[in-house]
Amino acid sequence: MTAELPVVVDAMGGDDAPAVVVEGAVRAQAEGIPVTLVGDEAVVGPLLPRRNAPVLIHAPEAVAMDDGAKAVRRMEGASVRVVMREVAEHRGCAAVCFGNTGATLVSAVLDLGVLEDVDRPALATVLPNSSGGRLVMLDAGANVDCKPEMLVSFALLGAAYAEALGVENPRVGLLANGEEEGKGNVQTRATLPLLRQLPLTVVGNVEPTAAMDGACDVLVCDGFVGNVLLKAAEGAASTIQALLREEIGRRPSGMLGAWLLTGAFRRFRNRVNWDAHGGAVLLGTRGVVVAGHGRANADAVHAGIDVAWRAAQEGLVDGMARHLEAWAARD
C-alpha cells in the first residue's frame, strides 16, 4: 500500500500567516490528515513542533495581498505556485491557500490547468440552509459578466461538487429574482433553456430565500451576483447578532438568560460563521483547490484542510470530469 498523498498548504498566505496556518496544519495532521506546508524555511521552520510536524517545502517567495495576476505569473518560486506544482506532479492530493484569491486562481490555472470544456474555473461556497442541509453556491466571485455558456459549465461543476459532498442526484437551480419561467434578467433568461438540456435535475429559477430554505442543492449564478448574495447573507448575520446582543443587554433577566444560553450561542455562531466551513472550493481545475479567507484563524485553516482532504478522497476532480464528458458526448 502506498502512503496517502498529503494536502499541500501555502503557509505564507493570509493576514496572520504563517503562525495560524502552521497551527491549523498541525491540528489537521494530529487528526490523521497528512499535510505538507510550503513557505520560507527561515520563517516557517522555527514555528514547527518537534514531534509529528508537517513536511515543509521551501519556497523563496510569497505573493502579497495586492499582487495582481501579472506579478503572480512571473513569480514561479512563490509559495502558492509551488503548492500547485506539488499537486500537478502528484505529490499532493489537494491544494489549500489563504488570502489573495486572485493569486490562487491564476496559479491554479497556470500550474494545474483546467478540465476539458471548462472556460474558466468557478469558486463554490457551501451555505447552511434552514432545514439543516447544505447549499452549494457558485460562482462566488471569480467571474463577473458571465456568458450563459459559463453558467452552464458552473451547473455541471457544482453538481459534481454536491455529489462529492454526498448529495445524490443534486437539484440544480438558477439564481433569479422570482421563480416564474419569465423572471430573471437577460443573462438568466438566456441560460435557463440551456440548463434544461443538461443531463441534470434542473428545478428552474430559484430565489435566494427558497434556495436557503432547501429548494435546490446547487445554486448557479454570475460571480458578481453570487458575491453579493454571499456578502448580503454575511451582513445580515452580523446585523442580527448585533441586534440580538443589544436586546439581551437591556435587562438583568436577559443577562441571566444569555448566560444559560452560552453554549447555544457559541454553537450557533460556529454554524453561522461560514468562513469556518473551510472557505471556497475552486471547481474546474485539474486538482482540488480550496481558497480560504485572508482573515482565516487556525480553526478556519484546519477546516479548509479538512474540506480539501475530503473532496480529494471523494474523487471530486474525477466527478467533474465525468459530468463534463457526459455533457460533451451529448453533442
Residue 16 buriedness (CB in 10 A; 0-12 / 13-18 / 19+)? middle
- Give one DSSP letter per residue of 126-152, joined into a string: EEE-TTS-EEEEE-SSS-SS--HHHHH
Backbone phi and psi for residue 282, each to the nearest 5 degrees, phi listed first: -85, 125
Q: How far is the CB of 42 from a copy of itself (least distance, A)?
A: 32
Give the gyration radius of the chain's Cα atoms: 20
Q: How far is the CB of 204 from a copy of itself (least distance, A)?
A: 16
Per-residue buried b or exposed e for 204-228, using 16+ beta carbons within 10 Å of the residue's own CB: bbbbbeebbeebbbbbbbbbebbbe
Task: Examine residue 18 and say whether the peptide bond preceding it is cis (omega within 30 degrees of 0).
Answer: yes
Cβ neighbours of residue 294 closer than 8 Å, sequence gap 6 or more = 13, 14, 15, 65, 98, 99, 100
* Structure-block grid coordinates of residue 294: 485572508
Under 8 Å between Cβ of 129 and 173 = no
Q: How far is the CB of 291 from a copy of itself (least distance, A)?
A: 15
**Between residues 274 and 327, which has the closer beta carbon with respect to a copy of itself?**
274
Q: How far is the CB of 224 from a copy of itself (least distance, A)?
A: 4
Q: How far is the CB of 40 from a copy of itself (least distance, A)?
A: 28
**Between residues 79 and 101, which has the closer beta carbon with respect to a copy of itself?**
101
**Between residues 243 and 326, which has the closer beta carbon with respect to a copy of itself?**
243
**Between residues 52 and 131, which has the closer beta carbon with respect to a copy of itself?**
131
- Give one DSSP letter per residue of 238-304, joined into a string: HHHHHHHHHHHTTSHHHHHHHHHTHHHHHHHHHHH-GGGGT-EEEESBSSEEEEE-TT--HHHHHHH
* Structure-block grid coordinates of residue 141: 466571485
Q: How far is the CB of 150 from a copy of itself (least distance, A)?
A: 13
**Between residues 46 and 263, which has the closer beta carbon with respect to a copy of itself?**
263
In the complex, the residues that contact a copy of itself under the rule CB under 8 A are 127-132, 141, 144-145, 175-178, 184-186, 188, 207-213, 221-225, 227-240, 242-244, 246-248, 250-251, 253-254, 256-261, 263-265, 267-268, 271-272
**Between residues 230 and 307, which has the closer beta carbon with respect to a copy of itself?**
230
**Between residues 64 and 264, which has the closer beta carbon with respect to a copy of itself?**
264
Q: How far is the CB of 258 from a copy of itself (least distance, A)?
A: 7
